[in-house]
Structure 1
Amino acid sequence: MDELIRKMQQDMEIQNYSPRTVEAYLFHVRRFQSYLHKPLDQVTLDDIRFYLHHVKTDKHYSRSSLHQAFSAIKYLYRHTLKMPIELRELKGPKRDQKLPLVLSANEIHAILNRTGNNKHRLVLMTLYSGGLRLNEGIHLRITDIDSQRMTIRVRQGKGNRDRYTLLSTVLLKELRLYWLRERPDPWLFPGQKETKPLSETTIQKAFQRARQDAGIRKEASVHTLRHSFATHLLEQGVNLFTIKELLGHKSIRSTLIYLHLQKAGTAQIVNPLDQLLPGLK
């Protein structure tokens, strides 16, 4: 088993999977192996089906965890073991059709004003300015800020893709003042140890404190800033394909969800109940 895990890890690293994905896939394969009572090369489609049902019903896996477990097992058999199990007959979990939460511009302004630590506030401003994922934001380097082109370079984002996104004029001014005071290097937002960036947990806690202090009851998270960035751009008239590139989406289908969130198209609609009972408005 250890040899198989090592081989799978090597395969994934050769294919340039992110360290997080490698770690997650190996975790799921180890769990799958411990559940089985037979060698991996004797596994059938029913064994995989029974295991996925087990982690869903007995282990109460979320949809995303179940999908990841299924993907890890598929990788094991298709790429590492190269076994002819017809996995197309077994479909992964159906995706939830949930719309992401969006904050208004005023709500984001209130959160930023309530973020007491200046470095933490700058991280949140950067995430919103460029529609960045948290992991992308904390791993920015000084050289990723291009003041000439007014862009932020995102290195090896999700799917190991580089991209450029927007740099706000207001943010650039704040970052220059911050750099003059702190002289960070090489990370734009170093943690307690300057050789490492800020932790995700630190920023998540700072965001939640500021949200609560601002009196915002929406169950927003740091990632909500990314959804808000995309939605606000769409409401300004920016086309979907531009937003797709700024967010680093592989497929335009991932960006289409923001069509359901914009309010520009519905702002002029008169509610039929208001027309029916105008005196109660």
Structure 2
Amino acid sequence: MTPLRQRMLHDMQIRNLADNTQKSYLIQVSSFARHFRRSPELLGPEEIRAWLVYLREERKLAPASLGATIGALRFLYRVTLKRDWSDEDFPLPKKPFRLPVVLSLEEITTFFDSIASLKHRAILMVAYAAGLRVSEVVHLKVTDIDSKRMVIRVNQGKNRKDRYVMLSPRLLEILRTYWHDAHPREWLFPGNIPGQPISRDAVGQACQLARKHSGIQKPITPHSLRHAFATHLLEAGTDVRRIQLLMGHRSLSTTSRYLKVATSTVCATTSPFDLLPRPEPTPSAPAAPEYF
């Protein structure tokens, strides 16, 4: 490990960045340095710009995928190398705004009915019933299920924040059935490696298999269930601020995007087409006489 890599790692650890963020940033900077075959200390804004053009034009990365690269380079040069560079030296492409595809209640039911494994069904039901991120679901421990207070404790979710979410009585029944079948000890959903929780990839694969068996044409990922959780709460009349707290969103604007897909918002207004006068029914032609 080079001294610069070690220094950047220490800077991230001091600022308590998430483990996944630290790994991602190191990978991004390493790729940047290998591309130019020089230490990042010898590279500047022109190389950064050329690197982003290469990723966009040659590697065909979407604008959203460049966020980790730009975040890593900003951290390296501004924090670790203490370069007094502006945001213009790290050009961030504008992301296209996309609304989530939301499953209906009927589709959610069909999806769950298509999951053969009790363990996988419990995992994906937790994602929907509590609105958790897949990383939060897989890191649940048995002790995080508080049936006396009817809450689930989410330890160190995104942005290193703890929060509580509701424990659905119906979900509690499912989890008890799963617990009596699997008897998990530490991790609520253990993986194949002893002492480790199930991986996010394994949950994603289970989700895709269930989607295939369900026959649902909409794309479904574990995160789709979190989208459905927020949208269905909003359609049921839950306050946006309360949904923000349950979802663990830092900004209310992130939660507010569900207003754009909730039927309680989109369908609450009458289309002007329905206000147009209906045309008078055209009189039907007299029936032709029958000769046989």
Settle same-fold status: TM greater than 0.5.
Answer: yes
Aligned pairs for 1:147-158 within 5 A:
147-158=147-158
Counterpart residue number, 1:160: 160
Counterpart residue number, 1:210: 210
Identity %: 38
- Is the 1:44–1:85 contact (alpha carbons within 8 Å) kept by the matching residues of 2? no
Counterpart residue number, 1:172: 172
- Name which one, 1 or 2, has greater alpha-carbon Rg: 2
Counterpart residue number, 2:128: 128
Letter aligned with residue 108 of structure 2:
I
Equivalent-residue separation in structure 2 for 1:267 and 1:39 (angstroms): 56
Counterpart residue number, 1:74: 74
Counterpart residue number, 1:141: 141
Counterpart residue number, 1:248: 248
Q: Residue deviations 1:56-114, cap 9 Å, x none? A: 11121222221110110000011111122233454312122000111011111111111
RMSD: 1.9
Q: Residue deviations 1:123-159, cap 9 Å, x none? A: 0110101101111101100111111221111111111
Q: Residue deviations 1:231-271, cap 9 Å, x none? A: 11111111111111111111112111111011013435443
Equivalent-residue separation in structure 1 for 2:183 and 2:46 (angstroms): 58
Letter aligned with residue 264 of structure 2:
A
Distance 1:126 1:91, change over 3 A: same
Distance 1:9 1:150, change over 3 A: same
Letter aligned with residue 19 of structure 1:
D
Equivalent-residue separation in structure 2 for 1:193 and 1:270 (angstroms): 55
Classify the secondary structure of the residue corresponding to 2:53: helix
Give me the TM-score of the superposition, normalised by structure 1: 0.92
Q: Residue deviations 1:20-65, cap 9 Å, x none? A: 1111111110111123365533433222222211211112122222
Distance 1:182 1:41, change over 3 A: closer
- Is the 2:101–2:224 contact (alpha carbons within 8 Å) kept by the matching residues of 1? yes
Distance 1:89 1:193, change over 3 A: closer
* Gapped regions of structure 2 (runs ≥ 5): 280-292
Counterpart residue number, 2:232: 232
Letter aligned with residue 92 of structure 2:
G
Letter aligned with residue 250 of structure 1:
R
Counterpart residue number, 1:28: 28
- Is the 1:230–1:258 contact (alpha carbons within 8 Å) kept by the matching residues of 2? yes
Distance 1:119 1:40, change over 3 A: closer
**Superposed displacement of residue 277, structure 1:** 8.1
**Superposed displacement of residue 196, structure 1:** 1.4
Give me the TM-score of the superposition, normalised by structure 2: 0.89
Counterpart residue number, 2:220: 220
2:64 paired with 1:64: yes
Letter aligned with residue 34 of structure 2:
S
Equivalent-residue separation in structure 1 for 2:42 and 2:32 (angstroms): 13
- Is the 1:138–1:199 contact (alpha carbons within 8 Å) kept by the matching residues of 2? yes
* Gapped regions of structure 1 (runs ≥ 5): none
Counterpart residue number, 2:15: 15
- Is the 1:41–1:83 contact (alpha carbons within 8 Å) kept by the matching residues of 2? no
Classify the secondary structure of the residue corresponding to 2:222: coil
Counterpart residue number, 1:188: 188
Equivalent-residue separation in structure 2 for 1:206 and 1:47 (angstroms): 41
Equivalent-residue separation in structure 2 for 1:67 and 1:80 (angstroms): 19
Letter aligned with residue 74 of structure 1:
R
- Is the 1:190–1:196 contact (alpha carbons within 8 Å) kept by the matching residues of 2? yes
Classify the secondary structure of the residue corresponding to 1:165: strand
